[in-house]
Amino acid sequence: MKARIFRASRRDLLKGTAALSLAGAFPLPAIAQGAPLKVGFMLPYTGTFAKLGKFIDDGFRLAVEQKGGKLGGRAVEYVQVDDESEPAKATDNMNRLVGRDKVDVVVGTVHSGVAMAMAKVAKDNNSFLVVPNAGANDVTRTMCAPHIWRTSFTNWQPCFPMGKVMYDAGHRNIMTITWRYAAGLEDVEAVKESFTKLGGKIVEELYLPFPQVEFQALLTQIAQKKPDAVFAFFAGGGAVKFVKDYAAAGLKTSIPLYGPGFLTDGTLPAQGPDAESIKTTLHYADALDNPANKAFLAGFKQKTGQDGDVYAVQGFDAGQLLEIGLSAVQGDIAARDKMFAAMQAAKINSPRGPISFSKAHNVVQNIYLREAKGGLNRYVSVAHEALADPALGCRAAA
Ligand code: BEZ
């Protein structure tokens, strides 16, 4: 009996050893080992877009917390990289997240130039990327891919409807002013496309390098040229300074200022009365009257003590989209075909209104005309309903 027991345990021991070496050769997938899902945030936590990055991060975490700290039933672990809105460091930062930290999905970023470098690394490495702000058109145009998604907008989307808004307000000769980088250039192209098609004229395009905020010389040019109106793209700290400088230069009362909503979103407390009555177009408005927005704003306030804005919404929706994809595969992020199919079919009641995803994996969404009044970007009308980016150059969308 004893011998038999001995033989049996020896066999077990050998089996165990074989199993162990098999496990060494063929390690169990992370999900089978109960490992948490690794989310890599590549966002600006410093610089002119610091608040934008923090709000995206907070919005995403809020969505996860509302699912009990899990996505698709798996606990979530975060790795954060401050990308500093610095395109020159973007490739190294992205490689660090996917190569060294081996995150399951990268969520980032805010700056279009940084996002283009991230999309290139994602394409080269077949890594899963969700963009929660940067609007660089090509991320979901020429760079579109099964594993690249965006929960924000293309730069074209909020700006194309603005051409008609400005024309309908009676403006015929306008100037533009922005930072000279992908987002600024693409915003100006989009408003120019619709405004000039209607018969309007862009009398001059003014640029300064990102993230400079020395606006004085350019504001003097606007005062001298006296256009009917000005279209401006700035965001974060740069938008605060621009709106204040525009008013201080005496232009606010004589030359109406317009722009994509980034000019006044998340910035009104700092801009104060200088932002009053500025009209912008965006896929979100502060007090949008829908249950999802009310619940989101209450949850965000409770979590952070702050008022949510468009950036927080985009982070929140990145979490919501991942939850839909990962639930379809019970957290098995390696089951990509099934997960991406669920994300493609997603219809989300976002705080911004109903959204879905185009074949290029960009958001199809309403663009609202808003007016800054009493510290809120108030809804005025729907400037364009369910607007999809044309996704030029994306074969999946053709
Ligand atoms: C961009 O670089 O794409 C961007 C940055 C801030 C706000 C909106 C767009």
Q: 237-252, pLDDT tens digit by residue?
A: 999 999 999 999 999 9
Q: 278-331, pLDDT tens digit by residue?
A: 999 999 999 899 999 999 999 999 999 999 999 999 999 999 999 999 999 999
Alpha carbon nearest to ligand 1 atom 5, residue: 111
- CB distance 244 to ligand 1 below 6 Å: no
Tell whether the model's pLDDT for residue 3 goes beyond 50.
no
Q: 169-181, pLDDT tens digit by residue?
A: 999 999 999 999 9
- CB distance 183 to ligand 1 below 6 Å: yes
Q: If you measure from the C-alpha of residue 112 to the centroid of ligand 1, how many angstroms do you get, rounded to a whole number?
A: 6
For ligand 1, mutation pick of 262, 282, 314 (most atoms within 8 Å of CB): 262
- CB distance 127 to ligand 1 below 6 Å: no
| % of residues, the chain, pLDDT over 70 | 92
Tell whether the model's pLDDT for residue 14 goes beyond 60.
no
Q: Which of the two residues, 134 and 30, has the higher pLDDT score?
A: 134
pLDDT of residue 264: 98
- CB distance 48 to ligand 1 below 6 Å: no
Q: What average pLDDT score do residues 20-32 get? A: 57
Nearest atom within ligand 1 for CA of residue 85: 2
Query: What does the alpha-carbon distance between residue 53 and residue 33 come to, in Å, rounded to a whole number?
Result: 32
pLDDT of residue 155: 98
For ligand 1, mutation pick of 114, 118, 133 (most atoms within 8 Å of CB): 133
Query: Max Cα separation, the chain?
Result: 104
Q: 72-119, pLDDT tens digit by residue?
A: 999 999 999 999 999 999 999 999 999 999 999 999 999 999 999 999
Tell whether the model's pLDDT for residue 153 goes beyond 60.
yes
Q: If you measure from the C-alpha of residue 332 to the centroid of ligand 1, how many angstroms do you get, rounded to a whole number?
A: 32
Residue 30 pLDDT level (bands cut at 50, 70, 90) = confident
Nearest atom within ligand 1 for CA of residue 49: 6
pLDDT of residue 238: 98
Residue 33 pLDDT level (bands cut at 50, 70, 90) = low
pLDDT of residue 25: 59
pLDDT of residue 287: 87
DSSP string, 129-142: EEESS---GGGGTT
Residue type, 327: S
**Taking the chain, what is the end-to-end CA distance rounded to the nearest angstrom?**
74
Query: What does the alpha-carbon distance between residue 41 and residue 53 come to, in Å, rounded to a whole number?
Result: 9
- CB distance 50 to ligand 1 below 6 Å: no
| Alpha-carbon distances, residue 152 vs 156, 284, 345 (angstroms) | 12, 10, 17
Parallel/antiparallel/unpaired status of strands 201-208 and 348-350: unpaired
Q: What are phi and psi of 92, to 5 degrees?
A: -65, -45
Q: 324-373, pLDDT tens digit by residue?
A: 999 999 999 999 999 999 999 999 999 999 999 999 999 999 999 999 99
The encoded tokens of residue 25 equal 């050769």
DSSP string, 308-321: --HHHHHHHHHHHH
Nearest atom within ligand 1 for CA of residue 182: 2
Element (H, E) at 239: helix 236-248
- CB distance 369 to ligand 1 below 6 Å: no
Q: If you measure from the C-alpha of residue 3 to the centroid of ligand 1, how many angstroms do you get, rounded to a whole number?
A: 74
Does the global pTM surpass 0.85? yes
Instruction: Give the number of other Cβ atoms within 10 Å of residue 52's Cβ.
Output: 30
- CB distance 368 to ligand 1 below 6 Å: no
Q: What is the mean pLDDT of the chain?
A: 93
- CB distance 134 to ligand 1 below 6 Å: yes
Parallel/antiparallel/unpaired status of strands 173-179 and 229-233: parallel
